[in-house]
Amino acid sequence: MRSLVILLVIILGVALAMAFMRGGMESGSPGELYGEVLNGAPDSIVVKVDDLGWGDRIPEKYTCDGSSSMPVISWSRVDGAGSYAVIVYDPDAPGGVFYHLAVYNIPGNATELKPGTVPGVVLKNSAGSRGWYPPCPPPGHGDHRYYFLVIALQGTIQEDVAGVEDLADALKGRVIAYGALMGVYGR
């Protein structure tokens, strides 16, 4: 009986550790940062980014130390999705969360964003430009985490959205599923 209890405790511990590693409630994770927006929606979208797995180092070509090109971001389709939103952010930036990409009203039949062919409405990133801004943490600041968050929505967003904060408000009550992939980069 004691062995069974120990085994169950170990299994529970591993399951909790995997939830936190997957982006559950760690500081800056989608669950922690966007919990009110995601509001219990399932973390069921599989997100893929070229040359990147969960927790991997982001290839230099996608950063300010390389060609600064945007990677292809793809995801599994969600039945019933009217549209998607994609948000890429760094919760470890010295001045607070830095948004590298924010796009919404991506058609519900889309399953990827490619450089130069971004469907939907593209908001300004934290650098003040529209579209992709490459990871470029301050030298010596250690590794930063970069979350590629994909959110499936019921319908589309009709109201005016001026920035990422407005987007978060507009997403509330519309999220049917989400998924994320996290990569790291430091200089």
> What are the residue boundaries of the structural domains of the chain, listed by start?
41-185
The average pLDDT across 181-186 equals 97
At residue 2 the predicted structure's pLDDT band, cuts being 50, 70 and 90, is low
CATH architecture of 41-185: Alpha-Beta Complex (3.90)
Which tokens is 168 given?
């978060």
Nearest to 36 by CA among 174, 187, 181: 174
- DSSP for 126-175? TTSSBS-----PPTTS--EEEEEEEEEESS---S---SHHHHHHHHTTTE
pLDDT in tens, 72-93: 999 999 999 999 999 999 999 9
